[in-house]
Amino acid sequence: MSKLRFAVMGCGFWSQFQIAGWFEVGGVELAALYNRTRSKAEALAQRFGVPAVYDDPEALFANEKLDFVDIITDVSTHSRFVHMAAENGIPVICQKPMAPDLETAEEMVRFCRERGVRFLIHENWRWQYPIRQFKKALEESGVGRPFRARISFCNSFPVFDNQPFLREVEQFIIADIGSHILDTARFLFGEAKSLYCRTQRINPSIKGEDVATVIMEMGNNTTVVCEMSYASRLEHERFPETYILAECEHGSVELGPDYWVRVTTADGTLAKRCPPPRYSWADPRYDVVQSSIVPCNADLLRALQTGQPAETEAADNIKTMRLVFGAYESARTGRVVVPQASV
């Protein structure tokens, strides 16, 4: 099968790992880079041997013959670049979160659908190896139907020291981490019938929320609690690990610190360590996140090559966006929210 030619839009911090992930998968040819600051694109092009660099997105679409485009820019620009790709009939992959508000996200999905253009979301969290192994244990260990679960991403990582611009973001942890955690809840436990959310701002020097708790009632009557915090100092925190516990009819399944998956039944507990794979281009401190780029990209490429659905189509990811912005609505109003489909 011939390689698919693609362009990357956005040459910030995450792009280097996304590009390395594409080369790890193979079957692609990176034809061009776009960045509004040309020098950033030139530096990345030199590093990865990319032949063309643009600081004008319209020129990129006019000059390059592409099989898809990968958008890795700030969320505020996602809609503009998705529209440009769709207007040129080019399939588009977009980073999460899809858009800064639900109305924009739903319009983006409609726009691509009406033009018959594939619109995929790079939602890699659900592709983390320990989380995939947790799901396998949940489905194959005989513990039965889950009735209650908790997904926890709580730590004291100094995120505002590393990314000071986040201090000024008015919608922070639900939009940033919640889009991952709520998508993981859907991946593991199905669709939500309702949700209730409480948020807090513990760090007095920021504008947005750094703590959020979302309680969801899923379609199979599982109660799922999603905990997110950058204000928690805990004995067993291992940033950027996610911990998950599912209580089920005949036992429980847990993903705990250091990637241990434990299945407990009346016969006892079986434990297996499920560490993520190691790639030379990834930061060892972030293996669990950065290594998940590879299977996510592989699934997206398979979908583009075969025409079959990807696991993270935009039409599916819009359901995660309804949970994200439904959580903000619930926190603002103090009411239970029922996610509504409108596209």
Asked whether residue 141 carries a pLDDT value surpassing 90, the answer given is yes
Closest CA to 319 of 125, 177, 124, 186: 186
The pLDDT assigned to 32 comes to 98
Asked whether residue 1 carries a pLDDT value surpassing 80, the answer given is no
Rounded mean pLDDT of 162-176?
A: 91
Share of residues in the chain with pLDDT > 70 (%)? 99
Tokens of 14: 């995450």
Q: Is the peptide bond before 204 cis (omega within 30 degrees of 0)?
A: no
The pLDDT assigned to 162 comes to 78
With a CB cutoff of 8 Å and minimum separation 6, the contacts of 211 are 173, 199, 200, 201, 202, 228, 229, 230, 231, 232
Whether 127-276+314-333 and 4-122 are alike in CATH topology: the answer is: no
Rounded mean pLDDT of 5-24?
A: 96
- For 52-99, the pLDDT digits (tens) are 999 999 999 999 999 999 999 999 999 999 999 999 999 999 999 999
- For 214-266, the pLDDT digits (tens) are 999 999 999 999 999 999 999 999 999 999 999 999 999 999 999 999 999 99
Query: Could you tell me which residue, 271 or 1, shows the higher pLDDT?
Result: 271
The pLDDT assigned to 340 comes to 76
Count of CB atoms within 10 A of residue 214's CB? 27
Share of residues in the chain with pLDDT > 90 (%)? 95
The pLDDT assigned to 341 comes to 59
With a CB cutoff of 8 Å and minimum separation 6, the contacts of 235 are none
- Pairing, β 223-229 against β 243-248: unpaired
Residue-range domain boundaries for the chain: 4-122, 127-276+314-333
- For 274-322, the pLDDT digits (tens) are 999 999 999 999 999 999 999 999 999 999 999 999 999 999 999 999 9
Report the chain's mean pLDDT, rounded to a whole number: 96
At 178, the pLDDT band (50, 70, 90 cuts) reads very high
Asked whether residue 160 carries a pLDDT value surpassing 70, the answer given is yes
Rounded mean pLDDT of 154-170?
A: 91
At 165, the pLDDT band (50, 70, 90 cuts) reads confident
- Phi and psi torsions of 25, nearest 5°: -70, -45
Please name the fold of domain 127-276+314-333: Dihydrodipicolinate Reductase; domain 2 (3.30.360)
Q: Are 238 and 257 in contact (CB under 8 A)?
A: yes
DSSP state of 337: B
Q: Which CATH number fits domain 4-122: 3.30.70.2190, 3.30.70.600, 3.40.50.720, 3.30.420.40?
A: 3.40.50.720
Asked whether residue 25 carries a pLDDT value surpassing 70, the answer given is yes
